[in-house]
Chain A
Amino acid sequence: MTARTQFDADIDTALADAPLQRALADVPAGFVAGRRRAREELLEFEPLRRVARDIRDHALAHLDLYLEAFESNATKAGSRVHWAASGDDACRIVLDICRAAGARTITKSKSMVSEEIELRERLQDAEFDVVETDLGEYLVQIRNEKPSHIIAPAIHMRAEDVADVFRRQHGHLAPDRKLDTPEEMIAEARGILRDKFLSADVGITGANFLVAESGSAIIVTNEGNADLTMSLPKVHVILTSIDKVVPTFSDAWPLLRLLARSATGQAFTAYTTIVTGPRRPDDPDGPEQCHIILLDNGRTELLASEMRPVLRCIRCGACMNHCPVYCSIGGHAYNSVYPGPIGAALSPALAGAEQAAHLAEASTFCGRCEQVCPVEIPLVSVMRQWRSLALEQPRSRRARVMLHTWARLAQHPRIYRWCAGIAARSLKWLAGSGARIRRLPFLHAWTDYRDLAAPQGGTFQQQWAQREHKRAQRDRADVSAARARKSDSVP
């Protein structure tokens, strides 16, 4: 099965999944309304987007410089910086760190980069006890699923699903244990996670931003789980990617001001933590080692391409919250670590065009994603570029021939007009005496779901030409009549 046919099958599954559809129906009232409120309350929201875009563009234009500065300052602060060209490299580095630490239990906070390289699965294969500490990620983990949203991994689940998976997976639960309210469910998860936090040997987090001037990582959460993940174990691993670096703290603030507002509508996340190296001698707590893994995984190539603006992304998820396609099929159908518009723009670069270029087809180019993107990524243009690259592939031969034939036709106005006339007449004939066509012999994808209105018959160009012809005749008649009158009056 090709990636595209798999996609079609997953779309049908998602559209028929009633609980998923009910969960997706809440997105507009939650994230979309939240962002709208936050934007209305912050007068400088729109100008701030342009500032944020420029900060990201500057950092990307001088990425080599800032990454080197970051490495040097992070090293000075006592962190160890590792460079990983591929996901495999990054996984190997993490495995080595965990083995060297003699680890058994590993806690992990939410990190899309770790999803990208399937780190949890790799660690579990190596017999480590890995637990996700973000509630949504934890639910996804115990349901053996993938996240369906980049900031709300369990957005596809409803409260009943949570209670249900706790009863199935938590063997210690008494049958009469109440799991009816969010508080009761959170208490159950907290009980499990607290033990893991205290027994963990290695804690793995992501990073929202890296600050070159100090070698710091900025990590935001709403649950505080990243703070326990990073400060309780002896070893802290920050797994992130090379595009996250900004020059200074002053550059990070505008991005942070936009991040939560764009994502959930909060002015700020509940926890914003700046980590600069491991525990220092007079610190009351903190890890003994701090490792920072900088993943490339296709980003350098993207940086060198016309699609560089994709790397501005600060992973707020606003594009998917506002995407009518995402809100119809949810995240899983994309079968891609990053779903929604940013997934369609980014995934082909990370996972390969063969795997993900078809995602760019699944857009009406309505442009709502671009309108809400806090760093103004031209998502539609990028998707259009992926379509363009896909069209050149041998597998797109049929699409290419059809497009070229049509384009040739469009470059011959006389033949185009003639064809339009035939098309109008044929469709009119198909409609018979009715005003709509209920089933087209071709393009039945249209009439499977909706009628096609019958054309009025005769093209505008034909009718206009007739009107102009009549008008010209009338004018000529008027002129000759006037001439006739004139010659009559001349003796």
Chain B
Amino acid sequence: MLYANQCHPVISMTEVYARRPRVGLFVTCLVDLMRPSVGFAAVRLLEAAGCEVVVPEEQTCCGQPAYNGGDNANARKIALQTMRAFDGLDYVVAPSGSCAAMLKVHYPRLLADDAQHASAARAFAERVHELCAFLIDVCGLEQVPGSFAGRVTYHDGCSGLRELKVREQPRRLLAAVPGLELCEMSDTDACCGFGGLFAVKFPAISNAMVTKKCANAASVKPDLLLSGEMGCLLNVAGKLSRQGADIQCRHIAEVLAGEMTAPAIAYSSDGERR
């Protein structure tokens, strides 16, 4: 099956088979700050897919708050810093469609008029992948370490879905999880209302949007709601928590990697909402 964003590996496949590709994990701010277990789950998946994982210390944020806030000058500086931090690695993989899209789609746009860095940004973008897309499109991963017995619904993050066309890859990976039953909710392509600062700048609209999303999710009665996007997950899990709904939320990497010892988002270790 062909995908619109099928990658063009920078190194040839013979080389990949000859040595383990070195993958730089772009941790993302929210995973770093809120849920490190997602980062470790991503590492486990990448290692299961035969990669060597490195985590460059010099990475910070992808620069989206500056870029979407209209501050292109700072966004450019952060872009160059990120590109430097991941220099020399075969791939850059992020457990987030939104951060991956920033690196892959927007860095080349930001630096398009910069004669010195435009081509470097394009070459860098070629190496960047969202985690699920990387596991399927580049690694051809068919078996995953995790298993889960229960009903799962999947929320597509907007940037991953529309800017990177990540839609089938997470679903194919979920299909490989023994025991997991995927129940699609309606309007999977509708935004959950997070939108970075949007959620605090327009909290009432954001609330209306996340309320609809939670209702759509609840209508398929899942045990677990998964997404590849920490921002969406904090929003949806936060709302479900406030509603007292009996749906747990996790990052898809946790289920795929079988790293489920950490309690679900906004759940206590005894499985209660406290």
Residues of A bordering B, CB below 8 Å: 11-12, 15, 28, 324-325, 328-329, 361-368, 370-371, 384-391, 399-400, 403-404, 406-407, 409-411, 413, 416-417, 420, 423-424, 427, 433-436, 438, 443, 445-446, 448-456, 458-461, 463-465
Contact = CB atoms under 8 A, between A and B. Distances in A.
Contacts of B187: 28
A456 B35 contact: yes
A407 B266 contact: no
Interface in B211-256: 212, 234-235, 237-239, 241-242
Given A368-B189, A455-B35, A460-B27, A388 B72 contact: yes
B182 interface: no
Given A11-B204, A361-B201, A384-B68, A436 B266 contact: yes
Given A365-B198, A409-B60, A436-B238, 12 more contacts: A324-B190, A325-B202, A367-B162, A370-B162, A388-B72, A403-B65, A413-B59, A413-B81, A416-B60, A423-B33, A433-B274, A448-B207
Contact of B32 (A367, A451, A459): A459
Best-surrounded residue of A400, A409, A435, A443 (most CB of chain B within 10 A): A435
Best-surrounded residue of A368, A410, A448, A456 (most CB of chain B within 10 A): A410
B34 interface: yes
Contacts of A12: 204
Contact of B242 (A386, A435, A449): A449
Interface residues of B, number: 75
Contacts of A406: 65-66
B70 A450 contact: no
B71 interface: yes
A409 B29 CA distance: 13
**Interface of A: prevailing SS:** helix
B15 interface: no
B163 interface: yes
B190 A403 contact: no
Contacts of B205: 11, 15, 325, 328-329, 362
B71 A453 contact: no
- Cβ-closest 4 pairs across A and B: A364-B195, A388-B70, A450-B238, A407-B74
Contacts of A438: 242
Interface in B64-95: 65-72, 74-75, 77-78, 81, 85
Interface string B162-190: 11000000000000000000000001011
B198 to A, nearest CB: 5
B6 interface: no
A218 to B, nearest CB: 32
B251 to A, nearest CB: 12
B36 A463 contact: yes
A403 B193 CA distance: 22
A11 B61 CA distance: 32
Contacts of A399: 69
Interface string B27-71: 101011111111110000000000000010111110101111111
A453 B266 contact: yes
A319 B203 CA distance: 22
B206 interface: yes
Nearest to A399: B69
Given A365-B195, A413-B60, A459-B36, A407 B209 contact: no
B103 interface: no
15 contacts: A15-B208, A324-B193, A325-B209, A328-B205, A362-B198, A366-B162, A367-B162, A368-B162, A391-B69, A400-B71, A417-B60, A420-B32, A450-B242, A460-B32, A460-B38
A387 B200 contact: no
Given A410-B63, A435-B266, A453-B266, A404 B203 contact: no
Contact of A456 (B159, B234, B262): B262
A454 B269 CA distance: 12
A403 B158 contact: no
Contacts of A452: 234, 238
A367 B201 CA distance: 18
B138 interface: no
B80 to A, nearest CB: 10
Contacts of A387: 68-70
Nearest to A386: B70
A445 B204 CA distance: 9
